[in-house]
Amino acid sequence: MVHNILFVILIALLVLILLALRWWRRWNPLGFLPPWPLAKRRGDDRFTQENITDTFISAIPTLTKEMNLEVATSNQTEVFERKDGRTFFGFDVGTNLVSIRVPVTYRYHIRLYDDSWKLEIEASTLRVRSPEIEASLPPAIHTDQLEQHSVRGWCRLPPTSLLEQLNRDLTPTLSHFAIHPRQVELIRETCRAGVAQFIRQWLEAEGRWSQDGFTAIVVQFTGEPTPPSQPVLHLDFQHQNNTQAAL
């Protein structure tokens, strides 16, 4: 009877040990080592605080062949008007009016090969100091959808020259719109998410975007006085667990 009880206890302990081992390997696939830092677990120092910025910059050519990273686009329809009123010996001889309505695509990028990149490790969060947002100039003007209207004053010649001048001013005016601080603020968070996605792409290629690696990314642009209070990206633990279970 005693032997049977001991046998049952041993079997129960063995089952508990196997379950504990399975759980540990699921959350620590690299073995019985501390979960941080991952760089030491893999036997390299590329992802240490001192080297991680250089590691990222050296990896850029493997991620894209472009010199700039496009991080946001904004499609808008702009309307421009211009008037020219004239008088003759104090009498109103009419006002010429012209207008242009045109769809425009504003694009924004950051420079990939820029000295202002700075990456810092804070536990499992990667803090990224990114180059400033820049407008890709000139904006894309969809001339195939451009609409022009003109109205001639009652005693005036057709406003042909006025419309020509408005067309000539179109590109420099739209370029000025693209770099206006108000316009940049509208797409700032989209740009921040674009940088974070690019960083995540790099981390995934290195096997570092994981539960035992980096799980959050914070992006701060050069010129911003303080970083965002919340990360831009978080690791989806539930999605990753489901993927691992499927495998």
Q: What is the pLDDT of residue 226?
A: 92
Cα(4)–Cα(13) distance, rounded to whole angstroms?
14
Q: What is the pLDDT of residue 40?
A: 47
Spatial CB neighbours of 49, under 8 Å, sequence gap ≥ 6: 120, 121
Give the HSE-up count for residue 48: Cα atoms under 13 Å, Cβ half-sphere: 9
Cα(27)–Cα(42) distance, rounded to whole angstroms?
16
- pTM as predicted: 0.76
Helices (H), the chain: 2-27, 38-41, 52-63, 160-168, 170-179, 181-205, 237-246
Stretches in the chain below the pLDDT threshold 70 = 1-16, 18-44, 237-247
Q: What is the pLDDT of residue 35?
A: 42
User: Token pair for residue 144?
Assistant: 């195939």
Q: What is the pLDDT of residue 5?
A: 63
Query: In whole angstroms, what separates CA 17 from the centre of its chain?
Result: 45
